[in-house]
Structure 1
Amino acid sequence: MQQHRSTQRRLMPRARQLYLLAVVCLSIGTAALAEPAKPPRPPGKPTIYQPDQQTCQVSTITAAYQRHLAPFADQPEAVKQKLRGMQADMTSRTIDGCLSQGLLSAGEAAQLRRKLGLHSGPTAPGR
């Protein structure tokens, strides 16, 4: 009889542990069922920008280029260099769009590219 009691004492903590484990697993499973995971939203369709006469003015393009870089003047040089590259790409694409729409002359485009330090010629398609 003495041996039976000691076996019961050793098993009780194990049974309690299993019971607690089952309760925790069930509560986690219930919480997961209560709030099903939402699938990620698909990316939105990119907006294709069509330039207009106002946008294609040399002064507008120049001011926009400088205005978009100004808030980052206090950043480290590596950050500013990356931002200048991104802004140069966007500005070049704007100039290309203005040229293709006939809203900017080739001479004005070349002048803008020189003034802003952009690479010459149209940007590569699909860039």
Structure 2
Amino acid sequence: MTPLLRTGPASLLVGTASLLLGAISPWGPPLAARTMPPPPKTPVRIYQPDGDTCKGEHLLKAYRNQLLQFANQPPEVLQRLRQMQLELGEASLKRCANENRISREEADRIWRELQSQPLPGSQPP
């Protein structure tokens, strides 16, 4: 008596071929007509600084520490990271000032200090 199910390379090839023919069969829906569900939406999170985050020493220290992680990168990479970090720092300072966690004058002072921070491996201005 022979088994009904065959195993081995030949049966694997036949099984794969039948799947492929089923996928491109003229009786099935065309590939372009098949739809996939949209990716799930990720929730937008707005950063909410607290009193400690808005302290100038904390902002400056975090700025320096973040860039130090990338000290071995080429100068153009460091420049781009610095630009991104300045944009984030500016947004954080504005939010801190808008929420009266620091004064506008203090935010301006910290902003000027952030801008004058040297890149890792370079000499301070």
TM-score by length of 2: 0.64
- Runs of 5+ in structure 2 lacking a partner? 1-13, 25-34, 117-125
Render the CA deviation track for 1:20-56: whole Å, top value 9, x for unaligned. Answer: xx97542325689xxxx97453341121111111110
Structure 1 position 90, deviation (Å): 0.6
> Which residue, 35, 49, 52 being the options, matches 2:50?
52
Q: CA RMSD in A?
A: 3.0
Structure 1 position 116, deviation (Å): 1.0
Q: Residues 40 and 72 (structure 1 numbering): CA distance in 2 closer, same or farther, change over 3 Å?
A: farther
TM-score by length of 1: 0.63
Aligned residues: 95
Aligned-partner Cα distance in 2 for 1:70–1:29: 56
Q: Which amino acid letter does the alignment assign opposite residue 28 of structure 1? A: L
Q: Percent identity, please.
A: 32
Q: Residues 27 and 54 (structure 1 numbering): CA distance in 2 closer, same or farther, change over 3 Å?
A: same
Q: Aligned residue for 1:89?
A: 87
- Runs of 5+ in structure 1 lacking a partner? 1-21, 119-127
Aligned-partner Cα distance in 2 for 1:62–1:44: 30
> Which residue, 1, 11, 20 being the options, matches 1:28?
20
Give the secondary structure class of the aligned counterpart of 2:69: helix
Q: Aligned residue for 1:108?
A: 106
Structure 1 position 68, deviation (Å): 1.2
Aligned-partner Cα distance in 1 for 2:91–2:104: 14
